[in-house]
């Protein structure tokens, strides 16, 4: 399985976001693959049964996932599904999208300068 090498992929993923992504239709009984860290989220009351593969898992997140499901290492995942069948690749938040608090370096701060396409519904689309 190829690991994408970009900055958003290596960002951490909270337990609640991973659970929400794995509850989407068609993802039951699949392995969640996270190229980064899984962190605990105290807002989650109960963790459903999950099969997770990650580079790093926080200690509290690890204990909570292991109570309900299973955590694999990358080499265990390679033996389990060599072609990546039955896996879902999850990634952290991308840079420079709304609510991510990152700003691009631009010459002017007007509404027409890198504030329009992808950020306003009236200018093409909005993420």
pTM: 0.71
pLDDT in tens, 29-77: 999 999 889 999 999 999 999 999 999 999 999 999 999 999 999 999 9
Q: Where are the alpha helices (DSSP H) in the chain?
A: 15-22, 59-68, 74-80
Rg, C-alpha atoms of the chain: 18
CATH tag, 13-90 = 3.100.10.10
The domain spans of the chain are 13-90, 96-127
């Amino acid at each position: 399985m190829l690991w994408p090498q970009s900055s958003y992929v290596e960002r951490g993923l909270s337990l609640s976001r991973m659970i929400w992504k794995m509850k989407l239709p068609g993802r039951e009984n699949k392995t969640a693959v996270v190229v980064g860290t899984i962190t605990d989220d105290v807002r989650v009351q109960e963790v459903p049964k999950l099969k997770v593969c990650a580079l790093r898992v926080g200690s509290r997140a690890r204990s909570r996932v292991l109570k309900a499901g299973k955590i694999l290492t990358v080499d265990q995942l390679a033996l389990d599904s060599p072609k990546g069948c039955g896996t879902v690749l999850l990634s952290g938040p991308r840079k420079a999208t709304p609510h991510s608090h990152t700003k691009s370096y631009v010459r002017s701060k007007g509404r027409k300068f890198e504030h329009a396409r992808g950020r306003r519904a009236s200018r093409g689309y909005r993420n």
